[in-house]
Amino acid sequence: MLLTMTSVGGVVSVAGTAGADPAAPAPPPPIPVPVPRPMPEDPARVNPIGGARVSSSTPQGETAGMERPLAAQVERGAATVPMWAKDGIFAPTAHPNRQIAIHLPGEVTLGPAAWLPGGGAIYGSNDVDYQAIPYAGGGVDITVTRKTVFSSSTIPFGVKMPAATHLRQGNNVVLVETDAAPGNPSRVIGTFSIPAAADANQALVGVTPTLGPGFPPGQSNLTVDLGPTSTFAFPVTITVSYRASDAATTGAPAPNWAGLPAGTPAGAVTPPNPAGYVTDPTGTHRPDGIDPTTYAQRHSGHCQGGPDTYGSADGRSANFVAACQTQQLCLATTPARTSVDSCNDRLLAHMSIQCVTVFGQTGDDYDACIRTASDEVAWAKANMAGGPG
């Protein structure tokens, strides 16, 4: 082995003859060149047209926002209570992919939401407070509290309707209906209750509802005019409910309905079971290919996720069985004829009808009954699927 060291100008070189130099490392791969793409074909900010001059505020690289949305619209399955009342309370209807927006009177003057347990909110002002309580299944109860005599006795609720629908006053109910067309008659897809009103002494206050156009154009108004109230009987509370219902009733046969008398037997109000429902708790008639769990849920003859009835301490009872069986039949028609969310929304509406019929439009028993129904609907949403069964 021979080593030679040579110093030239301060540079030292070492040469070896023991073997060949190691292989040089491979060169790094070339950096990929971005694929060239044309700039957006935007209109110029200033377009001379003859002797005129047209300016555009659309920035370069952006458009006027008329393209397909980034995310497709999804069906609304619950009521949405916003932080600011001016944004509107959104709620579904019994028709899939159609929703309404409820606007409170003087909403721009109301304070931000004071949140309540369960997702409800109170929007306050000096003279009037508005409380909105949403339920599973798309329902919402709105309570207006007139705190002083200086608050208006005329309360206009704005309702932003979906296309091809209208409001109509029925028998002690305000209906949201589709427009009739040849071969497609008008159908109920939502209901507003006729508001119930009472003063601080629990004396009933007369209510006159009217329907008419609202503002902005395209919005409808459900206006509530209250009867005279003693100056010393404030606050006055007014309660109105909305349900995504396909039935032309809220369960209240008369204004300010207070429910059946205390002690009414539990079986006094038993709605008929729907036609075509097959009760088969043992699964004897389950067809091949049908999931046993789904079949058991659809043919038990009972409600799923909660009791068949809600009973009060005074002996009255709201029966939910017919509502539950109707929902189970409805689920079997999805997705060909309706949606799972629509079936569950109507379940709450039908259970609510029984609560109102038996316990009235307000009160502790009504609140407990509706909460029981809402909990059952929440369970159904989480555990019951659509499709044949």
- Domain harbouring 286, CATH code: 1.20.90
Q: Is residue 37 part of a domain?
A: no
Check whether residue 294 and residue 253 sit in a common domain.
no
Q: Is residue 13 part of a domain?
A: no
Q: Looking at 257, 291, 318, which one is the last position of a domain?
A: 257
Q: Is residue 14 part of a domain?
A: no
Nearest-angstrom CA–CA distance, 304 and 381: 11
pTM above 0.85, yes or no: no
Check whether residue 253 and residue 270 sit in a common domain.
no
Structurally, the chain folds into a number of domains equal to 2
Check whether residue 119 and residue 194 sit in a common domain.
yes
pLDDT, tens digit (0-9, with 9 covering 90-100), for 142-163: 999 999 999 999 999 999 999 9
Q: Is residue 51 part of a domain?
A: no
Q: Looking at 207, 230, 257, which one is the last position of a domain?
A: 257
Q: Looking at 257, 283, 304, which one is the last position of a domain?
A: 257
Check whether residue 146 and residue 185 sit in a common domain.
yes
Q: Is residue 6 part of a domain?
A: no
Q: Of the ranges 70-84, 190-204, 362-376, which one carries the lowest mean pLDDT score? A: 70-84
**What's the half-sphere exposure (Cβ side, CA atoms, 13 Å) at 328?**
28
The vertex-287 CA angle with 281 and 290, nearest 5°, equals: 85
Q: Is residue 160 part of a domain?
A: yes
Q: Is residue 7 part of a domain?
A: no
Per-residue confidence band for 192, with pLDDT thresholds at 50, 70 and 90? very high
**Per-residue pLDDT at 8:** 42
Domain that holds residue 333: 258-389
CB 105 within 8 A of CB 155: yes
pLDDT, tens digit (0-9, with 9 covering 90-100), for 6-20: 444 444 444 444 445
Nearest-angstrom CA–CA distance, 250 and 258: 13
The vertex-172 CA angle with 170 and 174, nearest 5°, equals: 50
Check whether residue 247 and residue 135 sit in a common domain.
yes
Check whether residue 264 and residue 242 sit in a common domain.
no
CB 199 within 8 A of CB 103: no
CB 389 within 8 A of CB 332: yes
Per-residue confidence band for 325, with pLDDT thresholds at 50, 70 and 90? very high
pLDDT, tens digit (0-9, with 9 covering 90-100), for 350-369: 999 999 999 999 999 999 99
Q: What share of the chain is helix, strand, coil (3-state, %, to 5)?
A: 15, 30, 55
